[in-house]
Structure 1
Amino acid sequence: MYRGWGLFIGGAWRAAEDGGAREVIDPATEEILGWIPVASRADLDAALASARQGLETWRRASPWERAAVLRKAADLIRAREQDIGRLMSQETGKPLVQACGETRDAADQFEWYAGETQRIYGQTIEARVPEVRMQIRWEPVGVVAAFSAWNFPALLPSRKIAAALAAGCSIIVKPASEAAGSAMAVVQALADAGCPAGVVNLVTGDSRFISEYLVRSPAVAKISLTGSTAVGRQLLHLAADGIKRVSMELGGHAPVLVFEDADVDHAAEQCARFKYRNAGQVCASPSRFYVHESIYPRFCEQFAAVANSLKVGPGLDPETHMGPLANRRGLENTQRLVADAVERGSRLIAGGGRPAHIAGGKGYYFAPTALADVPDQALIMREEPFGPVAPIAAFATFDEAIAKANSTGYGLASYLFSRSLKTATLASEAIRAGMVGVNELAIASAEMPFGGVGDSGMGREGGPLGIRDYLEAKFVKTRLF
């Protein structure tokens, strides 16, 4: 599957220096899809040297030159949508229509940042005396080391690559080993778009070894991670030693508040469909549902009906609504959380195990699952589920709803449904999160700033704020003689 690809260093694809490789598993069949390189110390040194050289070339390129490459890459990714989508579906198990949608979203990142690179505006400050000039200019921070997760294997690296390149930085990207091919396809599009050698580099292999080696390198000026909160803490410790810039998009456990005046049927259907997108493996996925007691029974009934209507199967099957989980550890974690919730008194109202119609025991399948009357003490109310399980509980008052929404350390996304402008405004202001969707669950796109607070990280990706993390401000004061 990965023939012709591998490590991308110095503008060329290559195998690992010592021949090391690891397998990639199809989550729908548990069969081997292919092999990717395991980068050695020598490979990482080569990538660092390449990125340093690429930085010197790229930082001198004009915004118009950078924009042209990014726009061409966007066009190529769109033109290759079906091929990239099929590859992604095989790697992750997600339905082909979702994989193709993600590919388009990845292209949008490059198109958006093609515009942003032309909008890096400095500032002139009026001096106190006429013979002095003062200005602020923005310069690229330097070489970026970027680490992305497997759940959106084209979009997540694209957010980082596009922003870094728009700012004039070079980058070494390390995609997740479970789904490296999607990132390789994005890098191939950049190469074909005329991106100079060394500006974009890609390495695969042992995540811990690669991340520690790159973060410790004095050549790297900035780290960007999309991953778990635990990994984020580790990289922050390493980054502190080198006083490096960081942006972290970490875990989430998004609350959904459905108030008594909401359109309950609409809210239930939208919540269920978004919850099971990508088998619930979305950091911003709605994952804790708190519903006003007056509409609680109706919400649970409608939510369960949608969950039970979704067809589970291989991602390449055009009738599939939800594919398998991406790996075995995700499946085992989902089983653990459901068992704990039921043991603590939760009611199973949809799913709960492997779909009956999936033949054989192969594939990391788990039915869309909904739990009602879930107590606050259940693990699923405190741990990020990252699977197709929806815990639902009732609340009685506004203050109780806000307290439940803010009961974890996470603060990435949050959602609420209400027809009342007052309720929606006060709730959106009281919820502790980087993003709030009001009667809306689609809150991620290239023009929107994406990121969280607390255990969900720092910094923003996308939107007018996304490029700032890749730029340094320089103040220049000139006295005229």
Structure 2
Amino acid sequence: MTQVFQAFIDGQGTDSVSGETLSITNPATGQVVAQAAKCGQPDLEKAVAAAEKAGPAWAATPVGERSKVLLKAASLIMANQQELAELETMEHGSPIRKTMNFDVPLCAEQLEYFAGVARAMTGETLPVGPWCLSTTVREPLGIVGLITPWNFPALMVVWKLGAALVTGNTCIVKPPSIAPLTTLKLAEILTEAGAPAGTVNVVTGPGEKIGEAMVRHPKIAKIGFTGDTATGKRIMQVASDHVKPVGLELGGKNAFIVLDDADVDAAVQGAVFGAFFNSGQVCAAASRFYIHDSIYDDFAAKFVEAAKALRFGDPMDMATVIGPVAYAAHRDKIEAYIADAKQSGATLLLGGERPQTEETKDGYFVPPTIFGDCDQNARFMREEIFGPVVGLCRFSDTDEAIGLANDTPFGLSASLWTRDTAKGIALAGQIKAGTVWINEHLIIFCDTPWGGCKESGWGKDLSKMVLEEYTLTKHIYVDLTGQPEKPWYGILK
């Protein structure tokens, strides 16, 4: 029998009120490997009640004590590294070498970062005049709802939970329906680390029911969402009825620009990582490549050869670097984009066909796929594919490249490849995106803000800036004169 995972409410595992469950499928095999509670409105109400009860005491807990909980949780994450990594590989398909060496250690590092930076959080004293003390303080928002994506199930929830908890909020998490298991384990770990019952609650279930109910709930003060742009727009629409703040980290269609003076070999290495890490299921993945005419053929040939060398197959094998995509319908969607690319007249340089090896035939595998001489206006070059499929375009001058890069409704990230750092910095200022890398793609640190513009969303994750996302800035004014009459009272006399 498959293991059944309960929801996590008020400090403990609990069955859904309905008793219904969701099937969790291993994308490498297509087999159901677990069941998780399928929560509904009654379960959400229980989570809200628990979070509301825990809120005042957690908000009043000194930030140093809250930081200690995060530090203890970081230690416990590493103590449970193997279990967390295997859970993530099983439910999501990420290769075990990635979940063990990247995802889980970064979860611990994120919590360590938030534990430290929160202790430096301050208000301001404002120089209004000698007759008063005018100051600002930061206060928790209350109950925050966190809706997290399936592409990095553990890491993305830690991004949000760490910042929300250390600033004194209580949290209700709606993890991805297809991959909720690591989130449930992390909730247990945070509770073991000292997070009081009710501060971390996880309601597992479909987004169209649980997620939308969270956005509508009058007692949930804010929504933090990472996911696709269409869902983000829906969240904005629903939240507007309650004038509820939302943080949205949405999709991307990210440009990778290689100038004529670039180190081609370095650019190729960056391209392989930027395009195919996590099977391309990254909102910041490089997907639109703009290569200067003079080096296009050299770059394309080397890029194809480097991508050919990537081993895809059983994600539980430490030698595997490319696993399956997360679920069958997503594989089918990616394959539809591949078919569109073929019909657009682009030249297929690599991949494009479903692999049929013993390791891959039952899973949801899409091999690294590269198209050349692409039409900028083709559908697969305009829309986010969220898979290991990229298109290469030529350009002849820098202004053309910047124009092509900005010709998108998205604005999450981009990269520039050049040996002239000064030129790279100048051009970075012309690209409409939240992050622009120079001679790098897809490197993200705890210390640096992450978030986009245009249809890639608004607000920030990571860095000290995220603390502003989960706190209310309150102004406090104190009269120091001790006088009942003030000069400005005369206006009414």
TM range (shorter): over 0.9
For 1:203 and 1:153, the matched residues in 2 are separated by: 14
Q: Is the 8 A contact 2:4 2:34 kept in 1?
A: no
- In the other structure, the counterpart of 1:434 is 434
Larger CA deviation: 196-205 vs 361-370:
361-370
- In the other structure, the counterpart of 2:209 is 209
What is the CA deviation profile of residues 299-340 of structure 1, one whole-angstrom value per residue up to 9, with x for unaligned ones?
Answer: 100110011111110210121110111111221121111111
- In the other structure, the counterpart of 1:12 is 12
SS at match of 1:178: coil
- The within-5 A match list for 1:49-198 is 49-100=49-100, 101-129=102-130, 131-198=131-198
SS at match of 2:178: helix
In structure 1, runs of 5+ residues without a counterpart are: none
Q: Is the 8 A contact 1:218 1:242 kept in 2?
A: yes
For 2:449 and 2:385, the matched residues in 1 are separated by: 24
Q: Is the 8 A contact 1:105 1:445 kept in 2?
A: no
- In the other structure, the counterpart of 1:233 is 233
Q: Is the 8 A contact 1:95 1:320 kept in 2?
A: yes
Q: Is the 8 A contact 1:215 1:223 kept in 2?
A: yes
Q: Is the 8 A contact 1:17 1:42 kept in 2?
A: yes
SS at match of 1:177: coil
In structure 2, runs of 5+ residues without a counterpart are: 483-493
- In the other structure, the counterpart of 2:34 is 34
Q: Is the 8 A contact 1:174 1:204 kept in 2?
A: yes
SS at match of 1:467: helix
Q: Is the 8 A contact 2:97 2:320 kept in 1?
A: no
Structure 1 residues 4, 354: closer, same or farther in 2, change over 3 A? closer
For 2:143 and 2:331, the matched residues in 1 are separated by: 37
Q: Is the 8 A contact 2:4 2:35 kept in 1?
A: no
Larger CA deviation: 435-444 vs 292-301:
435-444
SS at match of 1:380: helix
How far off its partner does 1:269 sit?
2.2
SS at match of 1:198: coil
How far off its partner does 1:274 sit?
2.8
SS at match of 1:135: strand
How far off its partner does 1:93 sit?
0.9
- In the other structure, the counterpart of 2:392 is 392
- In the other structure, the counterpart of 2:300 is 300
Structure 1 residues 360, 8: closer, same or farther in 2, change over 3 A? closer
How far off its partner does 1:445 sit?
2.2
How far off its partner does 1:71 sit?
0.5
Larger CA deviation: 272-281 vs 259-268:
272-281
- In the other structure, the counterpart of 1:21 is 21
How far off its partner does 1:2 sit?
8.2
How far off its partner does 1:360 sit?
7.0
What is the CA deviation profile of residues 35-93 of structure 1, one whole-angstrom value per residue up to 9, with x for unaligned ones?
Answer: 00111221111001111112112100001110100110111112211210111011111
For 2:414 and 2:270, the matched residues in 1 are separated by: 14
- The within-5 A match list for 1:277-292 is 277-292=277-292
How far off its partner does 1:361 sit?
3.5
Q: Is the 8 A contact 1:249 1:456 kept in 2?
A: yes
For 2:329 and 2:470, the matched residues in 1 are separated by: 34
Q: Which has more radius of gyration?
A: 2
- Counterpart code for 2:451: G
What is the CA deviation profile of residues 145-180 of structure 1, one whole-angstrom value per residue up to 9, with x for unaligned ones?
Answer: 010010000011111110101111111000001110
Aligned length: 480
What is the CA deviation profile of residues 403-438 of structure 1, one whole-angstrom value per residue up to 9, with x for unaligned ones?
Answer: 110111101111110011232012100010001111
SS at match of 1:425: helix
What is the CA deviation profile of residues 224-257 of structure 1, one whole-angstrom value per residue up to 9, with x for unaligned ones?
Answer: 0001000000000111111111100000111000
- The within-5 A match list for 1:396-407 is 396-407=396-407
For 2:386 and 2:215, the matched residues in 1 are separated by: 27
For 2:307 and 2:326, the matched residues in 1 are separated by: 19
SS at match of 2:114: helix
Q: Is the 8 A contact 1:350 1:371 kept in 2?
A: yes
Q: Is the 8 A contact 1:341 1:380 kept in 2?
A: yes
SS at match of 2:411: coil
For 1:381 and 1:390, the matched residues in 2 are separated by: 8
For 1:97 and 1:447, the matched residues in 2 are separated by: 25
- In the other structure, the counterpart of 2:322 is 322
Structure 1 residues 254, 319: closer, same or farther in 2, change over 3 A? same
How far off its partner does 1:4 sit?
7.3
Q: Is the 8 A contact 1:290 1:395 kept in 2?
A: yes
Q: Is the 8 A contact 1:312 1:355 kept in 2?
A: no
For 1:79 and 1:93, the matched residues in 2 are separated by: 22
- Counterpart code for 2:117: E
For 2:323 and 2:473, the matched residues in 1 are separated by: 45
- In the other structure, the counterpart of 2:200 is 200
- The within-5 A match list for 1:256-267 is 256-267=256-267
Q: Is the 8 A contact 2:153 2:179 kept in 1?
A: yes
SS at match of 2:162: helix
What is the CA deviation profile of residues 105-151 of structure 1, one whole-angstrom value per residue up to 9, with x for unaligned ones?
Answer: 1111111110122122011112323x311111110111100100100
Q: Is the 8 A contact 2:280 2:388 kept in 1?
A: yes
For 1:3 and 1:76, the matched residues in 2 are separated by: 23
Larger CA deviation: 354-363 vs 287-296:
354-363
- In the other structure, the counterpart of 1:367 is 367
Structure 1 residues 339, 250: closer, same or farther in 2, change over 3 A? same
Q: Is the 8 A contact 1:2 1:181 kept in 2?
A: no
How far off its partner does 1:474 sit?
0.7
Structure 1 residues 69, 378: closer, same or farther in 2, change over 3 A? same
- Counterpart code for 1:225: F
Q: Is the 8 A contact 1:286 1:414 kept in 2?
A: yes
For 2:395 and 2:254, the matched residues in 1 are separated by: 16
- Counterpart code for 1:103: V
For 1:266 and 1:408, the matched residues in 2 are separated by: 26
For 1:20 and 1:367, the matched residues in 2 are separated by: 36
User: What TM-score does the superposition give when structure 1 sets the normalisation length?
Assistant: 0.97
For 1:273 and 1:64, the matched residues in 2 are separated by: 38
For 1:360 and 1:447, the matched residues in 2 are separated by: 38
Larger CA deviation: 405-414 vs 354-363:
354-363
Structure 1 residues 142, 43: closer, same or farther in 2, change over 3 A? same
- Counterpart code for 1:394: R
Structure 1 residues 383, 58: closer, same or farther in 2, change over 3 A? same
Q: Is the 8 A contact 2:344 2:378 kept in 1?
A: yes
Q: Is the 8 A contact 1:142 1:221 kept in 2?
A: yes
